[in-house]
Amino acid sequence: MGVQRKTKTGEQILAAFGDSKEALSAKMLLSRIEQRVNKTTVYRMLDKLEDDGVVHSFSGDGNVKYYARCHACSDTMHLHSHPHFQCVSCDKVRCLDFEVPLTTPLNLQVTESQILLKGHCEHCSS
Amino acid sequence: MGVQRKTKTGEQILAAFGDSKEALSAKMLLSRIEQRVNKTTVYRMLDKLEDDGVVHSFSGDGNVKYYARCHACSDTMHLHSHPHFQCVSCDKVRCLDFEVPLTTPLNLQVTESQILLKGHCEHCSS
DNA sequence: TTGATTAACGCAACTAAGTTGCATTAAATT
DNA sequence: AATTTAATGCAACTTAGTTGCGTTAATCAA
Ligand SMILES: [Zn+2]
Ligand SMILES: [Zn+2]
Ligand SMILES: [Zn+2]
Ligand SMILES: [Zn+2]
C-alpha cells in the first residue's frame, strides 16, 4: 500500500525532488533533508511513493538504486520506458525525455527495459 | 594488470562460461565451480579477466554484477554495446546479439550505454 | 632439479546498500 | 480528548563486494 498520511518525511522527499528530472539515491536524499530522518524511514517512504506512481526507480552505477519523480504515472499505471543518464564526472543522474525504440527478438517476451547512458553532462564536458 | 599465470581458478571460471552467451554472477560462478574456491579469489580473477577483455560486466537486477564472455574484445579494445536480457522467471541472464541504435541529445557526451531487458525467456513463456 | 621471485590465493575483517522486527510516536478519525 | 494504526527510530541483520596480510604455488633462471 502507498502513502496514507501526510508526514514531514514525505514532504521533504518530494521537496528534494522538486519538479526536476534529477534522480536521487536514498543516501543523497538523506543528506539533502534538513530534518534528521532515519534511513529506514526514507527507504520505506520511497517504496510507498513508488507504489503510488509518484516516483520510479532504476539501478544506477555502483549498484545503487536511484529514484526520480514520475510525470505520467499513477498507482494503477506506470509508464517510464525512458532512458537515464549518469555523468561520470559529477555523478548526477537524471531522466531523459525521449523514448528508445527497441526491436526485441521474437522468442523473448520483454516486459521492462532499463537503459542507462553514461558520459559527461553539459556542465562537465571539456 | 590482467591474468599473468595459468591457475585452476582461471580455468574453472572460463569453463563455467564455456562458449555460451550466458551471464553469471560471482555467486553463481562459486556454486558452479567444483573445486573449493574463495569468493575473494573469484572476484579478483573476474577483475583480471575483465582487464584482459576476456569477460565484460554489467549490472543486472537486484544490484548484482554479472559477467559474460567477450567475443570481440582484447585488453586494448573493449566493444560491447549490446543489450542484456534477464528472465524474471528463471533468473537467467544473457547477452543479446543485436545493437540498439541510440540517438542521444547533443549536449551530452555519451561514452557508455547499459541496456537491460527484462521479461520471460523462451523457456518460461506460457 | 633446485631455489628465488612474486602472482595468485585463503582468510578474516570490513564497507555500503538495503531490509526486518519491534517498540514508540504521531497523523487522522470519532 | 480518546482511539486507531500509519509512520517512525533504532538496533540488528543480510548480501554484494572490497581490503590487508600472511601463505601457497606458478614461472623462470641458476
Ligand atoms: Zn556532470
Ligand atoms: Zn526516469
Ligand atoms: Zn526463463
Ligand atoms: Zn554481454
Q: Is A73 in contact with A55 (CB distance < 8 Å)? A: no
Average pLDDT of chain A, as a whole number: 92
Q: Which residues pair with B25 in a beta bridge?
A: B66
Give the model's confidence band at B72: pLDDT under 50 very low, under 70 low, under 90 confident, else very high.
confident
Of residues A40 and A103, more confidence is placed in: A40
Give the model's confidence band at A62: pLDDT under 50 very low, under 70 low, under 90 confident, else very high.
confident
SS (H, E, C) B12-80: HHHHHHCCCCEEEEHHHHHHHCCCCCCHHHHHHHHHHHHHCCCEEEEECHHHCEEEEECCCCCCCCCCC
CA A113 – ligand 4 centroid, Å: 15
pLDDT in the model for residue B1: 81
Domain range for B36: 8-119
pLDDT in the model for residue A19: 93
pLDDT in the model for residue B6: 97
pLDDT in the model for residue A78: 67
Q: What's the Å distance between residue B79 CA and nucleotide C7 C1'?
A: 28
pLDDT in the model for residue A96: 93
Q: Is B50 in contact with B67 (CB distance < 8 Å)? A: yes
Give the model's confidence band at A74: pLDDT under 50 very low, under 70 low, under 90 confident, else very high.
low
Residue of chain B with shortest Cα separation from A82: B115
Which ligand is located closest to the Cα atom of residue A115? 2
- Percent of all residues in chain A with a pLDDT value above 90, rounded to a whole number: 75
Query: In strand D, which positions have an atom below 7 A from any protein CB?
Result: 6-12, 16-20, 26-27
pLDDT by residue (tens digit) across A80-90?
789 999 999 99
pLDDT in the model for residue B62: 83
pLDDT in the model for residue A3: 97
The stretch B95-104 carries a mean pLDDT of 87
Q: Does residue B124 lie in a domain region?
A: no
CATH number at residue A48: 1.10.10.10
Cell of A33: 533533508
Instruction: Assign residue A124 a region (left: φ > 0; alpha: ψ between -120 and 50; beta: otherwise).
Output: alpha
Q: Does residue B74 lie in a domain region?
A: yes
Q: Does residue B73 lie in a domain region?
A: yes
How many domains, in total, are found in chain B? 1
Q: Is A123 in contact with A106 (CB distance < 8 Å)? A: no
pLDDT in the model for residue A98: 87
Q: What's the Å distance between residue A111 CA and nucleotide C5 C1'?
A: 55
- Under an 8 A CB cutoff, do A111 and B120 touch? yes
Minimum-distance CB partner of A125 among B83, B109, B112: B109
Q: Does residue A63 lie in a domain region?
A: yes
Q: How far apart are CA A1 and CA B25, in angstroms?
A: 32
Q: Does residue B88 lie in a domain region?
A: yes
Q: Does residue B1 lie in a domain region?
A: no
Give the Cα-Cα-Cα angle B66, A56, A65 (nearest 5 degrees): 40
Set of chain A residues whose Cβ sits within 8 Å of the Cβ of B120: 108-109, 111
Predicted TM-score (pTM) above 0.85:
yes
CA B30 – ligand 3 centroid, Å: 21
Q: Does residue B3 lie in a domain region?
A: no
Q: Does residue B38 lie in a domain region?
A: yes
pLDDT by residue (tens digit) across B25-49?
999 999 999 889 999 999 999 999 9
Cell of A11: 514532504
